[in-house]
Structure 1
């Protein structure tokens, strides 16, 4: 026969279990809300810290820049009609992306846009054109960026030969691919998942990490005081250049507003690799390993990893058009 005390013990145990489950559920919901708030709800107050002094789009990953005076910011990156940031990339015969890390001469390939075409120019090469409207009608295939699968469209034999001859001095070996979608599809890279502010929706088209990257003029100036041969902002390939803040203030920013409407969340610091050692004017690697060598001497942080930091990756939270001279604010 069951005693009253046994019933009471069982009831008490049930209450404890229910309370524990409720506490865990509430804690989980609080964590979810905090992450949502941290990533999606911008501050109500802003502090002016400078102005936008350069706007740069890189339509072909690792190739030359297109500087503009005004451009629209979408979730996928900078865009102006058919010109979009990192919307084209080169792949090898195995479908893996290739960059100027392997082939520095890529930085001398200059894209330009005319009507429905992208034109590519390079030293010693006859210009080649790509009909972008035609690409939108083709079926995509799977290629890879940092080992992650991504659907892209092959741009055809003519431009494949053009790049292969220019980079490899061969008739084949490289192919130009186009990203046909209007949204990001890649997951956050495993090495970046430690940053709670890194989200799949911010991974861009064919970008390394996120759709946007910002650089501070004062940070470049600080670096150049430590170098025998100064470098330019183009060694670091930013989308936005900002004038006004002290060197490396951007390390601590969480929210950025440019102009009256466009709002970004700072996803993570931008870590740097050997690509920064490629001279954007000559395509030559620096013989002394700089600026990367110097950056490693004073811009490495244990919580971020072995690669030094210069600039900040951004994810768009409110879209709009930016223009040179727009004021830049940070959340307070």
Structure 2
């Protein structure tokens, strides 16, 4: 049969040969594209069976990237992260004058900046040691023009929050009247492609990160100076499973909200910043200890601690909700 096809092809005119080749290539391309979407659909289909492993012990939302979190008892899970009305995760970021993001890796005292919200979650107030409080009306920001900000070399649409709050951040971080700005992310979906649909608003990797209490407890048995969960800035902390059990969860269901495992959370020097003091440890801990037993060979020198998740079925998560994996 193959020889007959070759014979027919050879006997065809050059123009007909070109048409046959084009049709074959087009058919192969359509097959490849179809296979890609079928695989993607299968990969994003939750399992039919779930196993209960524990319950939600803590929920955190970090409205300003690299600053202190707000601990909540329940949250709505959206594609760009946990939220309560206009309290949304990593929806603000500090930048330099050029719009490039600045984190606590460069300015550890950022972790001492504490946001709070009014009862309607429409006004954010910022507090920091030695500074008067400053408030921002979030609804007004949606009427301001968009300017480009930069996160991990990716352009993102942002709104500048004005000179008054820029002066506040600059004074706190450098004792100078200028140098830093605060930017707001105005969209309800990601504008970034780094992790496809799972990259959030201004997050480093994905919209959600989870680990369990036993994982932190095991690490503390290896350290002289104890650490808390806030050293690792999770969205959700689970109580119940054994240490590092989350490494093997490829799907996570909390109540009726469903998440898919995206990647391990690889740790950097941010882990060494004390969330209560706003300074980095002088001995490189706990990152040094984590590197001794939590590195993944094909992922380089950064140790894994917790897992990044992508939302697959939106819903509400509350303290005490049962946690399942699949």
Aligned position for 2:214: 218
Aligned position for 2:117: 113
CA spacing shift, 1:77–1:6, aligned 2, 3 Å: closer
In the alignment, the residues of structure 2 paired with residue 19 and residue 96 of structure 1 have an alpha-carbon distance, to the nearest angstrom, of 47
1:203 equivalenced with 2:199 (yes/no): yes
Residue 131 (structure 1) shift: 1.1
Residue 258 (structure 1) shift: 0.2
Q: What number of residue pairs does the alignment pair up?
A: 316
Residue 284 (structure 1) shift: 1.6
Aligned position for 1:10: 10
1:321 equivalenced with 2:316 (yes/no): yes
Long gaps (5+) in structure 1: 189-197
CA spacing shift, 1:244–1:164, aligned 2, 3 Å: same
2:34 is paired with a residue whose SS is helix
Aligned position for 1:70: 74
2:316 is paired with a residue whose SS is strand
CA spacing shift, 1:228–1:22, aligned 2, 3 Å: same
In the alignment, the residues of structure 1 paired with residue 47 and residue 242 of structure 2 have an alpha-carbon distance, to the nearest angstrom, of 22
Aligned position for 1:229: 225
Residue 84 (structure 1) shift: 0.4
Query: Within 5 A, what are the aligned runs for 1:152-171?
Result: 152-171=158-177
Residue 182 (structure 1) shift: 0.4
Long gaps (5+) in structure 2: none
In the alignment, the residues of structure 2 paired with residue 29 and residue 317 of structure 1 have an alpha-carbon distance, to the nearest angstrom, of 21
In the alignment, the residues of structure 2 paired with residue 241 and residue 123 of structure 1 have an alpha-carbon distance, to the nearest angstrom, of 28
Q: What is the alpha-carbon root mean square deviation over aligned residues?
A: 2.3
In the alignment, the residues of structure 2 paired with residue 224 and residue 237 of structure 1 have an alpha-carbon distance, to the nearest angstrom, of 16
2:210 is paired with a residue whose SS is strand
Residue 216 (structure 1) shift: 1.4
CA spacing shift, 1:21–1:84, aligned 2, 3 Å: closer
User: CA-to-partner distance for each residue in 1:29-48, whole Å, 9 max, x for gaps?
Assistant: 3343112311x211111110
In the alignment, the residues of structure 1 paired with residue 24 and residue 107 of structure 2 have an alpha-carbon distance, to the nearest angstrom, of 61
In the alignment, the residues of structure 1 paired with residue 215 and residue 299 of structure 2 have an alpha-carbon distance, to the nearest angstrom, of 18
User: CA-to-partner distance for each residue in 1:75-131, whole Å, 9 max, x for gaps?
Assistant: 111110110000000001221100100001111100001143100001111100011
CA spacing shift, 1:102–1:11, aligned 2, 3 Å: same
2:299 is paired with a residue whose SS is coil
1:243 equivalenced with 2:247 (yes/no): no
